[in-house]
């Protein structure tokens, strides 16, 4: 699997307790907090909102007040089983007035989470690099050859008294880039781009 293209969701009822599950893609760790705050505003009467996420090498699980190990870790295990990346799984629980006990609670969170994970459309995570360059107008031919040789994609280009261009690479050839920079080009910005395809 990989990253989330479209997040799944599910809902189950267990002894009048309602469990609503959701999968969300996350681009940054701050999106986890933002998403949780949004869900808390959207479901203000929910008793608990346990969650788990996987973000690159970081994993985290929170039971949100449920008995230890009954909510967050089962959700995290579902994400691991799905080989999820950059993904948040949460379950909104409305208490139905009857205590379920740890075993039934764990099963309920696991079942609700599984519905959302199964309903998610997964894609492959692709990482590329964006490099913005500035160089002399008379070096347009050199730029064209560089783009062709490195299989770069021109994302944006402007001509003024200089050429300002943003190139996107699936893999940056540092040797070719250094050669181009020797021709009077300057790196204005460089950043990583992650997307799910």
- With a cut of 80, say whether residue 193 has pLDDT above it: no
Phi and psi angles of residue 188, each rounded to the nearest 5 degrees, phi first: -90, -40
Average pLDDT of the segment spanning 162-186: 80
Asked whether residue 143 carries a pLDDT value surpassing 90, the answer given is no
Q: Is 189 helix (H, G, I), strand (E, B) or coil?
A: strand
Task: Please report the pLDDT score of residue 194 as a whole number.
Answer: 78
* Contact present, 179 and 164 (Cβ < 8 Å): no
pLDDT in tens, 65-78: 999 999 999 999 99
The answer, yes or no, to whether residue 1 has pLDDT greater than 70, is no
Domains and CATH numbers, the chain: 3-122 (3.30.230.30), 125-196 (3.30.70.240)
CA distances in angstroms from 129 to 13, 42, 72, 117, 185, listed in the order given: 46, 36, 34, 30, 18
Q: Contact 43/20 with Cβ under 8 angstroms?
A: yes
Identify the DSSP state of 100. -
Band (pLDDT 50/70/90 cuts) for residue 180 is confident
H helices of the chain, where? 30-42, 72-81, 101-118, 140-150, 174-181
């Amino acid at each position: 699997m990989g990253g989330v293209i479209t997040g799944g969701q599910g809902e189950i009822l267990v002894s009048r307790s309602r469990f609503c599950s959701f999968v969300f893609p996350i681009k940054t760790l701050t999106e986890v907090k933002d998403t949780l705050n949004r869900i808390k505003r959207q479901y203000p009467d929910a008793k608990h909102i346990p969650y788990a996420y996987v973000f690159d090498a970081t994993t985290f699980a929170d039971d949100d007040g449920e008995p230890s190990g009954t909510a967050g870790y089962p959700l995290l295990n579902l994400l691991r089983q799905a080989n999820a990346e950059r993904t948040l799984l949460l379950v909104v629980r409305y208490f139905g007035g009857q205590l379920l006990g740890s075993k039934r609670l764990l099963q309920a969170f696991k079942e609700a989470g599984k519905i959302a994970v199964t309903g998610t459309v997964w894609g492959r995570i692709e990482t590329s690099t964006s490099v913005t360059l500035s160089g002399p107008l008379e070096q347009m031919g050199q730029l064209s050859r560089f783009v062709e040789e490195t299989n770069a994609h021109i994302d944006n280009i402007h001509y003024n008294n200089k050429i300002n261009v943003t190139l996107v690479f699936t893999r940056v050839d540092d040797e070719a880039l250094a050669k181009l920079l020797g021709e009077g080009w300057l790196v204005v910005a460089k950043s990583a781009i992650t997307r799910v395809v």
